[in-house]
């Protein structure tokens, strides 16, 4: 009877070890799945933010180009006027 109890205790101990190993394996697997899911969500968020930033950058570049063209037009008009004033001044001397 004592031998059977020792065998039973040994089997229970072995089953506990297997159960702990199984639980650790499942925990590692669940951890990996959670990390993968978090990475996918983070990547999706980054992609979304990147698209928004690119759209905003294009708007800023477009506005900058328009402002540059407007400044060039005003500068060209001012230079022409300045040249006219200088020519009139020189001719009136």
pLDDT given at position 85: 82
3-state percent breakdown (helix, strand, coil) of the chain, nearest 5: 100, 0, 0
Distance CA 44, CA 36 (A): 12
pTM, full prediction: 0.57
Distance CA 43, CA 1 (A): 62
* pLDDT, one tens digit for every residue, the chain (93 residues): 888 888 999 999 999 999 999 999 999 999 999 999 999 999 999 999 999 999 999 999 999 999 999 988 888 777 778 788 888 888 776
pLDDT given at position 93: 66
Please list the alpha-helical segments (H only) found in the chain: 2-92
């Amino acid at each position: 009877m004592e031998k059977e109890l020792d065998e039973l205790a040994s089997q229970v101990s072995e089953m506990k070890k297997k159960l702990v190993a199984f639980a650790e394996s499942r925990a590692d697997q669940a951890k990996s799945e959670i990390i993968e899911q978090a990475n996918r969500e983070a990547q999706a968020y980054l992609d979304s933010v990147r698209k928004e930033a690119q759209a905003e950058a294009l708007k800023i570049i477009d506005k900058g180009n328009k402002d540059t063209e407007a400044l060039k037009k005003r500068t060209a008009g001012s230079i022409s006027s300045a040249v006219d004033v200088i020519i009139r001044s020189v001719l009136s001397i």
